[in-house]
Amino acid sequence: MQYLPIFTKLDDRPVLVVGGGDVALRKCQAFLKARAQVTVVAPEFCTELTELAAQEKLTLVKEYFDTHHVLGMMLVIAATDNETVNQAVFDAANAQNIFVNVVDDQPKCGFIFPSIVDRDPITIAISSAGTAPVLARRIREKLETVIPHHTGKLARLAGDFRDQVKARFKSFSDRRQFWERVFDSSVVSKVQTGDEQGAQQQLTEMLTQPSKLEGEVYVVGAGPGDPELLTIKALQLMQQADVVVYDYLVSDEIMDLVRRDADLVCVGKRAGNHSVKQEDTNQMLVNFAKQGKKVCRIKGGDPFIYGRGGEEVQVLAQHGVKYQIVPGITAAAGCSAYSGIPLTHRDHAQAIQFVTGHCKKDGQELDWRGLAQPNQTLAVYMGVIKSPHIQAKLLEHGRAPETPIAIVENGTRQSQRVVRGTLSELAEKIEQHDIQSPALLIIGEVAALHEELAWFGQSEQVSSFAQPITQVA
Ligand SMILES: C[S@@+](CC[C@H](N)C(=O)[O-])C[C@H]1O[C@@H](n2cnc3c(N)ncnc32)[C@H](O)[C@@H]1O
């Protein structure tokens, strides 16, 4: 991070602007908005600056810049069109350890003015650290359209009730949950429609008769890895949680999006290597919820597809714990799209079966006869270790040795690899390319479409990735 975003309170603090033209004027206006005490130094001033001085909003010093002008200032701006003067301002400020900004000269900016979405007191600042101001402006425009104009009023209302809420709820977590309920309630729509009295009344009622703070578990599917595949609901719940219980399969980029101060608990889970027993994870979820916590149980892919979401939710239901389930994009869907392999295709596959290569120890054998039928696609989860067995069984039950296969490792992530081959080569390809978990096996005629469709798929749908998907023959 090149610049640390901080919001400074400039109320009556002295700041200096060197320059008397339009650029200086704009900087003065920004400072005046923050109620700073503005001094402007220049041999001449534009009309607007002179008018502002006449209204006693700022002080004009009609002099050539001299190093003593920076003394005692909090912030300094050089806004002249003379490089030598700007350099002198920069040097003088730096000599005094004062933050300085030389307009349009990013290397000489110790601080910068970000693009702002203003819903006072809510202020959103966007900066590209001088690298792409147009991009920053476009982001601001997007935010302008999605942050409602009543947001500022809502924040002011919350501010008015802050002390009362603090007195009513002693712990930070209880206060946070109270505010979450408020912002989910019709207090918001009342503010939006201008019924501020109604909003105040409702808030007072919620405060005087608060319902018992109730824990809840959100069982959230995080998708296969690309954070842009998260659903909006998943993101919202990840940001509300007090505790986040996660598996290895959830990518780091996704974990970066959970609430900053949430407690994080890793419960592991890799094939054959469960760092926390499933029963203990179930009990942990129940215990956190019974303590009144909002728990986000986040899982790779979809929680109900080989995710043990079903087992966890059964236990929550048995203990009367409230829960929500948020579907995620399952690995088969993500790997299919990001490798250009449609799972069904009118010419090649009329059915798709999701299969696990990793059964419970006492699990039954799969229906190999059914799985070996042609004109269908198999998406095999957790199939890497058992690939020799899967290959042998399918061949034994009549699937053609030349049936196309694809192995998608780290699907949808920047490190995605796609290995192509035939069924008779499945285990060999896995060994040869040292395929690591997570990887999905796609078995069926559609796998051959990878060569035809992969690049189309990448340019259309993986645009957020810096590098193209690696393909291995
Ligand atoms: C325990 S299962 C979880 C499946 C998950 N609930 C889902 O819906 O995708 C783990 C297996 O899913 C597959 N998998 C998950 N994420 C993947 C990814 N990004 N790329 C390839 N395969 C993945 C692998 O076969 C992995 O062994």
| CATH number of residue 386's parent domain | 3.30.950.10
Distance 321 CA to ligand 1 centre (A): 27
DSSP letter for each residue of 79-110 = --S-HHHHHHHHHHHHHTT-EEEETT-GGGBS
User: Residue 183 is part of a domain; what is its CATH number?
Assistant: 1.10.8
389 & 418 share domain: yes
Q: Are residues 307 and 368 in the same domain?
A: no
Atom nearest to 271 CA in ligand 1: 27
CA–CA separation, 263 and 224 (whole Å)? 23
**DSSP conformational letter for 365:** P
CA separation for the pair 75, 65 (Å, rounded): 15
Q: Is residue 168 part of a domain?
A: yes
Same domain, 374 and 394: yes
- Residue 140 counted as domain residue: no
> For residue 38, is it within any domain?
yes
pLDDT value, residue 41: 98
Judge whether 5 lies within some domain.
no
Using CA atoms, how far apart are residues 145 and 159, in angstroms rounded to an integer?
24
| Whole-number pLDDT of residue 91 | 98
In this structure, the answer to whether residues 321 and 401 fall within a common structural domain is no
With respect to residue 135, please indicate whether it lies within any of the assigned structural domains.
no
**How many angstroms separate the CA atoms of 202 and 386, rounded?**
60
- Whether 352 maps to a domain, the answer reads yes
Let me know whether 336 and 464 are in one domain: yes
3-state SS string over 229-250? HCCHHHHHHHHHCCEEEECCCC
| Separation between Cα atoms, residue 92 and residue 69, nearest integer Å | 9
Give residues with Cβ within 8 angstroms of 131, minimum separation 6. Answer: none
**What pLDDT was estimated at residue 261?**
84
- β-pair type (122-126, 376-381): unpaired
Q: Are residues 325 and 337 in the same domain?
A: no
**Do 466 and 338 belong together in one domain?**
yes
Ligand-binding site membership of 91 (annotated):
no
**23-30 own/partner pairs: CB under 8 Å, 24+ apart:** 23/79, 23/103, 24/49, 24/77, 24/79, 24/80, 25/49, 27/77, 27/79, 27/103, 27/113, 28/52, 28/58, 30/113
Nearest atom of ligand 1 to the alpha carbon of 381: 25
Of 220, 217, 219, the closest CA to residue 288 belongs to: 217
Helices (H) and strands (E) in the chain, counts: 17, 18
Report which residue type is found at 114: P
Q: Are residues 363 and 458 in the same domain?
A: yes
> Which CATH number do you get for residue 220?
3.40.1010.10
The reply to whether 119 falls in a domain is: no
Residue 192's pLDDT is 83
Q: What does the alpha-carbon distance between residue 362 and residue 87 come to, in Å, rounded to a whole number?
A: 77
Give the distance (Å) from ligand 1 centre to CA of residue 369: 24
pLDDT at 458: 45
Residue 319: predicted pLDDT: 95
Distance of CA 104 to the CA centre of its chain: 31
Tell me, yes or no, whether 2 lies in a domain. Answer: no
CATH number for the domain spanning 102: value is 3.40.50.720
End-of-domain residue from the set 113, 137, 159: 113
Q: Is 446 found in the same domain as 321?
A: no
- The reply to whether 382 sits in an annotated binding site is yes
Give kind and range of the element (H or E) at residue 404: strand 404-409
For 23, 52, 54, 138, 181, the CA distances from 32, given in Å and listed in that order, are 14, 10, 15, 25, 37
Q: Which residues pair with 326 in a beta bridge?
A: 220
Total domains, the chain: 4
Per-residue pLDDT of the chain (473 residues; tens, 9 = 90+): 889 999 999 999 999 999 999 999 999 999 999 999 999 999 999 999 999 999 999 999 999 999 999 999 999 999 999 999 999 999 999 999 999 999 999 899 999 999 889 999 999 999 998 888 889 989 998 898 888 889 999 999 999 999 999 999 888 888 988 898 898 788 988 898 899 999 999 999 998 875 666 789 999 999 999 999 999 889 988 988 889 999 988 989 999 999 888 999 999 865 455 578 999 999 999 999 998 888 999 999 999 999 899 999 999 999 999 999 999 999 999 999 999 999 999 999 999 999 998 765 565 788 999 999 999 999 999 999 999 999 999 999 999 999 999 999 999 999 999 999 999 999 999 999 999 999 999 999 999 999 888 764 443 333 333 333 445 55
Q: Whose CA is nearest to atom 2 of ligand 1?
A: 306
Mutation probe of ligand 1 site: the residue of 219, 246, 249, 414 with most atoms within 8 A of C-beta: 249
Domain span holding position 386 = 332-472
**Same structural domain, 431 and 404:** yes
Q: Residue 47: which region, alpha, beta or left (left: phi > 0; alpha: psi -120 to 50)?
A: alpha
The burial class, CB within 10 Å (0-12 / 13-18 / 19+), for 194 is exposed
Indicate if 157 and 268 belong to the same structural domain. no
Choose one of 273, 301, 329: the last residue of a domain.
Answer: 329
CB 76 within 8 Å of CB 102: no
CB of 341 closer than 8 Å to CB of 449: yes
Domain boundary among 65, 88, 113: 113
Q: 114 labelled as ligand-binding?
A: no
Task: Just list the catalytic residues.
Answer: 247, 269
- 325 Cα: distance to centroid of ligand 1 (angstroms): 18
Separation of alpha carbons 29 and 33, rounded Å: 6
Q: How many whole angstroms separate alpha carbon 245 and alpha carbon 315?
A: 16
Q: Whose CA is nearest to atom 21 of ligand 1?
A: 439
Residue 332 alpha carbon, nearest atom of ligand 1: 9
**Are residues 185 and 68 both part of a single domain?**
no
Q: How far apart are CA 178 and CA 208, in angstroms?
A: 12
